[in-house]
Amino acid sequence: MKPVIFTDLDGTLLDDGYSFEAALPVIRRIKDESIPLVPVTSKTRAEVERVRELLGVGGPFITENGGGVFIPDGAFPFPVRGEDAGGMKLIRLGTSYEVLKSALAEIRKETGFRITGFADLTPEEITERTGLPLADAVLSKEREFDEPFFLESGSVEEVGLLAESVGLTLTRGKILHLTGDNDKGRAVETLKTLYRALYGKAIFIGLGDRGNDVPLLKNVDYPVLVRGEEGGYEPVEGVPKLIKADGAGPVGWAKAVTGILDTIKASGSYTC
């Protein structure tokens, strides 16, 4: 059996300063043991490609809260169905960005709430509001399946109900997001099928820090919640066998992954 790791990025593998340094020794181990490390994030393709480059990992990844599943050509030794997307196949699970932007504009008009989406902001303004480095803020605007937004006046619940009434979903990550009826869990399921076809049997590990990670955590064998940097864990319900990592962000990530890999290795159920 082969382990496969699905991980959220912001607040999980990346700390609040967007660094994964605390997890570096474990990332090295994962690479040495050829364990797939799959980012599952609300970030865009362009942002994830940059993080993958910094991490030095290849392979599939999931963008924009499960809107897009990207599979580099040759990642699996069998044909994968999907749209050609520059050296990769894209399995599109999300709703198009144009539809999301007009729905958000409609909600703003209907409620009179002050709502500001990433589409309304320059990269400099995104940096100011989120702390994202400017180069990443530029890449964060290349959106396909998810509109992050700030609700400056009005009720989150009301926005959520209006989104639902037109078949869309309001998701809470570090900030609010409007998406289609996709989530991280469905996207993870899509890749699990491919990894099972590749390895025969696989053990799935999943790590996250917030509500938008719950569908991911529900779809893995070892679900891990890392602590927030403020010191607490996000309240998470409905995830059996949830493991609370001993540490915030990448510190907790590294400890939990080491513990799980050691445990499954000791049980003799995997060879690298």
Q: Which of 4, 5, 10, 40 binds Mg ion (CB under 5 A)?
A: 10
Per-residue string for binding with Mg ion, 206-225, x by CB under 5 A?
---xx---------------
Nearer residue to Mg ion within complex by CB, 130 or 194:
130
Cα–Cα distance for residue pair 106/121, rounded to 1 Å: 18
Contact flag: residue 64 with Mg ion (CB under 5 A): no
| 148 binds Mg ion, rule: CB under 5 A | no
CA distances from 163 to 40, 103, 160, 215 (A): 23, 8, 5, 19
| CA distance linking residue 68 with residue 45, whole number of Å | 8
Binding of Mg ion by 136 (CB under 5 A)? no
At 258, the amino acid letter reads: T
47 binds Mg ion (CB under 5 A): no
DSSP 1: -
Is position 11 an interface residue for Mg ion (rule: CB under 5 A)? yes
DSSP string, 52-92: HHHHT--S-EEEGGGTEEEEETTSSSS---SEE-SSEEEEE
Q: How far is the CB of 174 from Mg ion (least distance, A)?
A: 6
Which residue sits closest to Mg ion, CB atoms considered? 11
Q: Under rule CB under 5 A, how many of the chain's residues touch Mg ion?
A: 5
Q: Least separation, in Å, of the C-beta of 226 and Mg ion? A: 9
- Nearest approach in angstroms of CB 204 to Mg ion is 18
Which of these segments, 10-18, 80-88, 176-184, 219-227, binds Mg ion (CB under 5 A)?
A: 10-18
**Residue (101 or 179) nearer to Mg ion, CB:** 179
Cβ burial of 228 (10 Å; 0-12, 13-18, 19+) is: middle
Stretch that binds Mg ion, among 119-127, 130-138, 201-209, 226-234 (CB under 5 A): 201-209
Q: Which amino acid belongs to residue 196?
A: R
8 belongs to the catalytic site: yes
One-letter amino acid at 44 equals T
63 DSSP β-pair partners:
68
Smallest distance from Mg ion to CB 210, Å: 5
Residues 145 and 67: their CA atoms lie apart, in Å, by 5
> In a 10 Å sphere around its CB, with 0-12 CB exposed, 13-18 middle and 19+ buried, how is residue 200 labelled?
exposed
Of 11 and 68, which has the nearer Cβ to Mg ion? 11
Of the candidates 3, 7, 8, 226, which one interacts with Mg ion according to CB under 5 A? 8
Residues that bind Mg ion (CB under 5 A): 8, 10-11, 209-210
Active site residues: 8
